[in-house]
Structures are given as C-alpha cells and as structure tokens.
Amino acid sequence: MDLNTIWFLLVSVLFIGFFVLEGFDYGVGILLPFVGKSDSERRRIINTIGPVWDGNEVWMVTAGGAIFAAFPHWYATMFSGFYLALFLLLTALIVRGVAFEFRSKDKHPAWRSTWDWLIFAGSLIPALLWGVAVGNLLKGLPIEADKQFVGGFFDLLNPYALIAGLASLSVFTVHGAIFLNLKSTDVIRDRARAATKKVGPVATGFILLFIVATPLWTDAYQRLGMNPGLIPVTGLVSLVAAGLLIHKDRMGWAFAMTCLTIACSTVTIFMSLYPRVMVSSLNPEWSLTIYNASSSQYTLMVMSIVALIFVPIVLVYQGWTYWVFRKRISPESELEY
C-alpha cells in the first residue's frame, strides 16, 4: 500500500469521526427548539453537547488540513467549486458557535430565543450541505483537464445531491435524538424518544431513496458490482437494526447502530470514489485521483510521521473528555451554555 492510498484512508477515517461525532451535535441543535419547551429545558439540551461540540468540529478542521497538505489539487478544486456552498456552511458554523456562547449572556427571553433558533439554523444548514457535497462528489462535477471547476453554484443543486442532503439531514437528526435520549432525563428524554420514532422512518425512506438513486446517477454500481461487499451491507443492516432497537427502547444499542450506519456509509462513499477524489462529469480521464492531486512523496512521508505521533494523543484526549462528561444532564446540572 503506497502513501497516497494511506492518506486517502486517513482522510476517510477523519470524515468518519467527524460525521459520527458532529452528526449527533447537528441533530441535537436541530431538535433544540422543538424538544425544549422552556428556557431551562433548552439550556439542559445544549448542556448535553456543550463540553464536546467544539472538540467534535476538530475532526472537520483536521480533515480539511489533511486534504490541503496531502492532496492540494483536490483541496484547490473542491474549494473553488464549492466556494459559495462552503462559505454558507462556514457562516452557519460560526453563527452556531457564537450562539452557544452568547445565549447565556442575557436572561431576556427574546435574546435567548433568537440564539436558540440560530443554533437550529447553524445545525440544519451544515447537516444538509454535507450530504449535498457528498452527492456531488459521487455524481461528478464539471472539471476540465487542467483540474479547473467550470460550473456554477446551481450545478451543485441537482436532484441527486439534494436527495443525499436530505438523507444526511434526517439521519443526523435521528442520531442526535438518540444521543439526547441517552444524555437527558424526565420530559426531555421522553420527547427525544418520541422524536426518534417520528424522524426514524423519514430517515430510512431518504436512505433507501439515496440507495436507489445512486446507480442511476453515479458509477458506484459499476465500481462496486452486484455484491458490494461486507461494509455497504453492514451499513444497511445496521440501519434496519437501529429502527427495531428504537421501537424496543434499547437506545444505547440504537445509538451504536446509527454510528455504524454513518461509518459504513462514509466508507462506502470513499470506496466508490477510490482512487479518484473528484469525478469529472466532462471526461472521466480528467478526474482528480490520489496520484494526480497529491503532494510529493517526501511531504506524505513527513506527514505520516507527524500523524503517527499526534493522532493517538488526540484520540486518547477526546476519549477521556467523553468519559468525564458521560453522565446524564438533569435539572440539577450546574453547567450553563
């Protein structure tokens, strides 16, 4: 296995961590105005992710940095092609982060309600746009031989990408509802459980629609074949298992299954792309690959040494953080965000 493939795998692992961890963050933010009926309840909902949400976003920053260093042509083409979409996404994330910090600065109901709805918007927009981005990566983009994106913003809003966006939005919402059920008590826990049962079928429907649409709009079927392998099948089975476990109120196992669904779906997407990183819809030979979009072998070697040292440290630290803040958030909790 060459360094180009190793770094492609590492980028995929970073996105798995990001979608699994930040996915329930987005879901909790989306549910905030609906599950929380009072300021006290909304504050407790925010407290369930308060200690970890910013650490979860580090996975996105690290993935972007890894792409920039290991595959600079991929980074350049993607950020130029997705410029407006990424600007909207980053704006939403900035507003969301500010809202977490500012809502507790004033006790006026209008002030807090405004920031709560901004948390909702700052969670919904990225949850939707990440799916749209993934859909476009699979479907292909107008990329010329010189690796230049020649399309426009509305080229990204095609039916397949929107289906992928709605699938990611609904799955993250269910993922967040299950997490909120595990981290809360009394009425919030009950409402979160009810939310999983309402949104779960919607998420399943969009996932199945995405699965049906993928061979129609992409070449994933030709690349994976009739038997796509253990990972895609595991992702589908875990999705069904999550639904059954939700109805049996086995929320801990249901959360594990949604984590597995998101992880397997992400791996399947990267499997469908490999060795490409961006597909050209104009000419398949103009697609960006892990070879024509990569840095030099020396750069990849230095990065590998650095990653080998620091990635385990980051994983241990984040695991310790989740262990420290593992308890449910009750009305007596003292944290305030």
pLDDT digits (tens, 9 = 90+) for 274-312: 999 999 999 989 999 999 999 999 999 999 999 999 889
**Rounded distance between C-alpha atoms, residue 184 and residue 201, angstroms:** 23
pLDDT at 140: 92
Cα(148)–Cα(139) distance, integer angstroms:
17
Q: Is 279 left (phi over 0), alpha (psi -120 to 50) or beta?
A: beta
Rounded to 10 deg, the angle between the 3-35 and 39-49 helix axes is 170
Q: What pLDDT was estimated at residue 50? A: 87
What is the C-alpha separation between 278 and 8, in angstroms, rounded?
A: 12
Evaluate whether 174 touches 200 at the Cβ level (below 8 Å). yes
Segment 166-179 shows an average pLDDT of 96
Nearest to 289 by CA among 142, 73, 80, 63: 73
CB 19 within 8 A of CB 175: no
Q: 105: Cβ–Cβ under 8 A, 6 or more apart, which residues?
A: 111
Sketch out the chain's domains with CATH numbers. 3-324 (1.20.1630.10)
What's the Cα-to-Cα distance from 25 to each of 15, 21, 125, 177, 189, rounded to whole Å? 15, 7, 13, 10, 16
pLDDT of residue 227: 67
For residue 21 the two structure tokens come to 């961890």
For the cut 60, the answer to whether the pLDDT of residue 88 exceeds it is yes
What integer pLDDT is reported at residue 226 of this predicted model? 62
Helices 297-324 and 3-35, packing angle to 10 deg: 30
pLDDT attached to residue 162: 96
- For 121-133, what is the mean pLDDT? 96
HSE value, Cβ hemisphere, 13 Å, CA-based, for 74: 28
Residue 166, pLDDT above cutoff 60: yes
User: In whole numbers, what is the pLDDT of the chain averaged over residues?
Assistant: 91
Determine the average pLDDT of the residues in 86-96: 93
The CA distance from 178 to 254, in Å, is: 7
Q: Could you tell me if 225 and 247 are in contact, meaning their C-beta atoms sit under 8 angstroms apart?
A: no
Q: Are 74 and 96 in contact (CB under 8 A)?
A: no
The amino acid sitting at 138 is L
- The pLDDT of residue 245: 93
> Phi/psi at 283 (nearest 5 deg)?
-160, 120
Per-residue pLDDT reduced to its tens digit, 199-245: 999 999 999 999 999 988 998 877 776 667 788 889 889 999 999 99
Instruction: Summarize the confidence of residues 96-118 as an average pLDDT.
Output: 92
